[in-house]
Structure formats: structure tokens, C-alpha cells
Amino acid sequence: MSLILGVKEGEVIYLNDEKLVVLYIKGMASIRVKVLGKEYEITDLEATEVYPGVLVSCGLPTRTSTQVSGLLPRLVLDAPSSITILRKTLYEKARAGKKGVHTH
């Protein structure tokens, strides 16, 4: 199953309980991330396995309502349904047991 997320530098996405941190963005087709202590250069040319079973690549940017004058690059995450992928805020809500967060 694929998930496409617009990202910015410093953003944290959880793959199960492991952090994927967006370190920096170079243009719209190259994003450097860190997972499990290892850094990866993610591009639009190929998918890279950054976590067991999780392939990541860059997607075409999209305009957002919060950044009307610019474009956010996107990460395309392809993972089996057994892996939970959440932005930091949703992960923290799920860990706190708050309602409205479904992980599967």
C-alpha cells in the first residue's frame, strides 16, 4: 500500500515506532532522511528501502493551503499494511491513547 505525504525539513514520520526524520530537501526531487541512525538520499529515480519492507521515493510536489506561494516535495512510502505510518502528531496521540487515531 502506498502513502504520499507532503514534507518539510525537520518533519518526523513514524514507521511503527521508528522515526524517519526529513533532514534536508534539495530541490523537488531529492530529500535526505534518517532512519535507524542511517541517512538516505531519496530521489524520484528509484525507491529506497529505509526500513524493513518500506520503500521510499520522491513524488511530484503539490500546492498546499498552508503554503500557497510554494510547493512541498512529497515522499511516497510503499509499505505492507502491517507497518503503521504516522506523522509525529498522530503518533503521539496514538501513544497517549487519544480517540480518533486509527493505526490499522
Q: What tens digit of pLDDT does each residue of 48-100 get?
A: 999 999 999 998 765 554 444 467 889 999 999 999 999 999 999 988 886 55
* Res 73: pLDDT: 85
* Res 96: pLDDT: 87
* Res 92: pLDDT: 92
Q: Which three cell numbers stand for residue 104?
A: 490499522
Measured torsion, CA atoms of residues 41, 86, 74, 78, in degrees rounded to the nearest 10: 70
This prediction has a pTM of: 0.82
* Res 71: pLDDT: 73
